[in-house]
Amino acid sequence: MTKQRVLIPGGAGYIGSHIVLCVLLTRKYTVTVVDNFHNSFPESMTRVSQIARDELPADASQEDKDACTVDVVKGDMRDAKVLDGIFADYKQKGDAIWSVILVAALKAVGESGEIPIDYYEVNVSGLITLLRVMQTHEVTRLVYSSSATVYGIPKTIPIPESTPLAAESVYGRTKQMSELIIKDVCDAYPKTWRAIGLRYFNPAGAHPSGLIGEDPVGKPGNLLPLLAQMAVGKYRDPGLRVFGDDYPTPDGTCVRDYIHIMDLAGGHVNALEALDDDAKFKDTPTPGKYKAYNLGKGKGMSVLQMIDAMRKVSGYEYPYKVEGRRLGDVPDLTADPTLAEKELGFKAKYNLDDMASSLWNWQSKNPKGYTGQ
């Protein structure tokens, strides 16, 4: 069977590397990653290829062995010349790119309010550049990494996809705008374009091998990698800041739906395989073929619960200081994943203990990350 080639901008990062692995493990696709390594490392792709090879059956074909190697291009998705060259090169080789999974983005809620221009430039302008190049090369299949932050402060918990989009943060607004742009493209070209947006809740954990995991450049902007790095001594001063303890939640801290990274990554394979299924797009509200799905577990965990889960696996007693609420944060973001389960066959199987233990497995084996520095 001829393998279809998938382009994954941002594939070397935390989420991207696990997606690349899950796509490779289907043995149906070959993968090209384009990444500027702003918040990622080339070593992650070497390790992904290693895991993919290790999981091959003894009688694997040479084609399957070759497909475990990820083609990596250093470049920025905002650079149309780089993207055009990638699409053109593979087309010339007779191995044209079939679809794109777009993961590349700036993604910290707090930071987005501090450097909004950067977030709009990367997340929105970068998307437009990619869509234009895709259209030029007649590649019209897209899985888009969106975010639960598009919902803002939802009235219904757990959150269904029918919830109006009303993002509260700059980051959330870049994702909301991007979804609307993709939908408009699908509406304009209903006979060719098909896209699925995946609204992530909170990814956590790492691959069970401990070979790949989250290794942010600089101080982590998200809770779980910060907790892991504090436990190995990388960040301990001035300690942990908890933003707000007066929210309308069981312990006053923000509640988020944490989903294991392997579950999240697997959801992209479900979406990829759904792109050519007419039934998945039969009930879109407009002629265009764009649909969005929640990827979450359907169970919320508070900031203090996550701190306690990491304390149990790491043995580190986290000192923390409660500060005022942070701009853009909302009290509760818990998914209703029913639609993704029904239409994509998506089901999150890992629990909180799995997330904490796999994260600690990664961090304890790689206390200084991919580079050892």
Catalytic residues: 171
Rounded Cα distance between 260 and 266, Å, is 10
Q: What share of the chain is helix, strand, coil (3-state, %, to 5)?
A: 40, 20, 40
Encoded amino acid at 111, one letter: E
Task: Give the angle 181-107-149 at the CA atoms, nearest 5°.
Answer: 65
- The radius of gyration of the chain from alpha carbons, rounded to an integer in Å, stands at 20
Strands 97-102, 194-200: pairing kind: unpaired
**Helix, strand, or coil (residue 88):** helix
Specify burial of residue 112 (Cβ count, 10 A radius: 0-12, 13-18, 19+).
Answer: buried
Three-state DSSP string of 267-326: HHHHHHHHCCCHHHHCCCCCCCEEEEEEECCCCEEEHHHHHHHHHHHHCCCCCEEEECCC
Q: What is the DSSP string of 178-197?
A: HHHHHHHHHHH-TTT-EEEE
Encoded amino acid at 153, one letter: I
Collect all residues with Cβ–Cβ distance below 8 Å to 11 and sequence separation of at least 6: 17, 19, 20, 31, 33, 34, 35, 45, 70, 101, 103
| Kind and range of the H or E run holding 102 | strand 97-102
Tokens matching residue 267: 């959801």
Task: Give the angle 110-116-118 at the CA atoms, nearest 5°.
Answer: 110
